[in-house]
Chains A and B, each alone.
Chain A
Amino acid sequence: MTVSVVQFGGSNCDRDAVRALDRVGVDAERVWHEDGLPADSEGIVLPGGFSYGDYLRAGAMAAHSPVMDEVRAAAEDGTPVLGVCNGAQIGSESRLTPGAFTTNRSARFQCEDVYLRVENAETPWTDAYDEGDVIELPIAHGEGRFEIDDAAYEQLVDDDRVLFRYCDADGNVTDAANPNGSKGNVAGILGERENVAVLMPHPERAALAELGGSTDGQGVLEGFA
């Protein structure tokens, strides 16, 4: 399994993603978006960063990069695709996943550790956890507030496509534990099929024990294993 970590101009979590994937035993390489996906890509990461300076809306420019046509085609063929932070914004802007990630309720960039409750543990991205588990991951975003219309939100919940919700340390999903005002405290969701997932928190920044923090993010990355 070789995972392609797609670099756009302004991506900055691509190296972290390669290193964290290596830690969970997944071979990964960085791929410049203009070079297209290598033929042997068996997984795709859209990494975090500030692609194209977040011009217009975070992720809006990268979503229309030609490589995203390849990513969409690969996703439809069942290739695992994970969008993290700016990669999640690119995923929603390119309609790989529903809804949008927009300006935080605080109107500030927020960089902090958050707790997430696992809502659906029967996906490749959450198989390492049990439903109801509380994991700790960092966030670092100014536009992470998940917005979606009410009908589409209900459909998402009915289809069990919410992966994680922001919660407190005890797993209570409360407004106080919602760092950015996301609808339903949603932090990560699936696309139409379970091989596509996006989330605003950074699993790749919580994967190396030597950094001294949480390693709870490994489980998400094991979705490629």
Chain B
Amino acid sequence: MTAYTATVTVRLKRGVLDPEADTTQKTLERLGFELSDLRSADQFEVDLDAESADAAAERADEMAQRLLANPTLHDYDVVVEEQGV
């Protein structure tokens, strides 16, 4: 077994309203920053032991499907890295 960290990033699907991002963008603009858009995302770093990077990714993918993301609202991606490399 190898120790991996799976990073799961959960984003709102394109077209789904993101009031928190809109509010954050407005505040950045109030601070004088110039920007054309801003999107928010949640990121989860999951430490796990698995036989292979593929097995770790598969387990993290299932975590995203069953809990970390809501399929009505979100897209997600999973990136797996071996720990301590």
Chain B residues lying within 8 Å of A103, measured Cβ to Cβ, are 18-20
Q: Are A149 and B19 in contact (CB under 8 A)?
A: no
Q: Check: A105 CB closer than 8 A to any chain B CB.
A: yes
Across the interface, B70 reaches (CB within 8 A) one of A60, A105, A106, A107, namely A60
Q: Check: B68 CB closer than 8 A to any chain A CB.
A: yes
Complex-state Cα separation, A60 to B64, whole angstroms: 12
Complex-state Cα separation, A93 to B18, whole angstroms: 19
Q: Check: B16 CB closer than 8 A to any chain A CB.
A: yes
Q: Check: B67 CB closer than 8 A to any chain A CB.
A: yes
Q: Are B23 and A107 in contact (CB under 8 A)?
A: yes
Chain B residues lying within 8 Å of A93, measured Cβ to Cβ, are 70
Chain B residues lying within 8 Å of A64, measured Cβ to Cβ, are 66-67
Q: Check: A148 CB closer than 8 A to any chain B CB.
A: yes
Q: Are A181 and B17 in contact (CB under 8 A)?
A: yes
User: How far is the CB of B36 from the nearest CB of chain A, in Å?
Assistant: 20
Complex-state Cα separation, A103 to B20, whole angstroms: 8
Q: Check: B22 CB closer than 8 A to any chain A CB.
A: yes
Q: Are A149 and B72 in contact (CB under 8 A)?
A: yes
Q: Are A105 and B72 in contact (CB under 8 A)?
A: no
Chain B residues lying within 8 Å of A132, measured Cβ to Cβ, are none
In the complex, how many residues of chain B place their beta carbon closer than 8 angstroms to a beta carbon of chain A?
A: 13
Q: Are A148 and B72 in contact (CB under 8 A)?
A: yes
Which residue on chain B has the smallest CB distance to residue A102?
Answer: B73
User: How far is the CB of B37 from the nearest CB of chain A, in Å?
Assistant: 17
In the complex, how many residues of chain A place their beta carbon closer than 8 angstroms to a beta carbon of chain B?
A: 20
Residue among B22, B68, B70 with most chain A CB within 10 A: B70
Which residue on chain A has the smallest CB distance to residue B23?
Answer: A107
Q: Are B73 and A107 in contact (CB under 8 A)?
A: no
Q: Check: A57 CB closer than 8 A to any chain B CB.
A: yes
Chain B residues lying within 8 Å of A92, measured Cβ to Cβ, are 72
Q: In B28-85, which residues have CB < 8 Å from any A CB?
A: 66-68, 70, 72-73
Q: Which 5 A-B pairs have the closest CB atoms?
A: A107-B19, A100-B72, A107-B23, A103-B19, A100-B73
User: Which B residues have a C-beta under 8 Å from some C-beta of A?
Assistant: 16-20, 22-23, 66-68, 70, 72-73
Q: A64-B66, A145-B17 are in contact. List 18 more A-B contacts (CB 8 A).
A: A56-B67, A56-B68, A57-B70, A60-B67, A93-B70, A99-B72, A102-B73, A104-B19, A106-B19, A107-B19, A107-B22, A107-B23, A147-B16, A147-B17, A147-B73, A148-B72, A149-B72, A181-B17
User: Which A residues have a C-beta under 8 Å from some C-beta of B?
Assistant: 56-57, 60, 64, 92-93, 98-100, 102-107, 145, 147-149, 181
What are 29 A-B interface contacts by the 8 Å CB criterion?
A: A56-B67, A60-B67, A60-B70, A64-B66, A64-B67, A93-B70, A100-B70, A100-B72, A100-B73, A102-B16, A102-B73, A103-B18, A103-B20, A104-B19, A105-B17, A105-B19, A106-B19, A107-B19, A107-B20, A107-B22, A107-B23, A145-B17, A147-B16, A147-B17, A147-B72, A147-B73, A148-B72, A149-B72, A181-B17
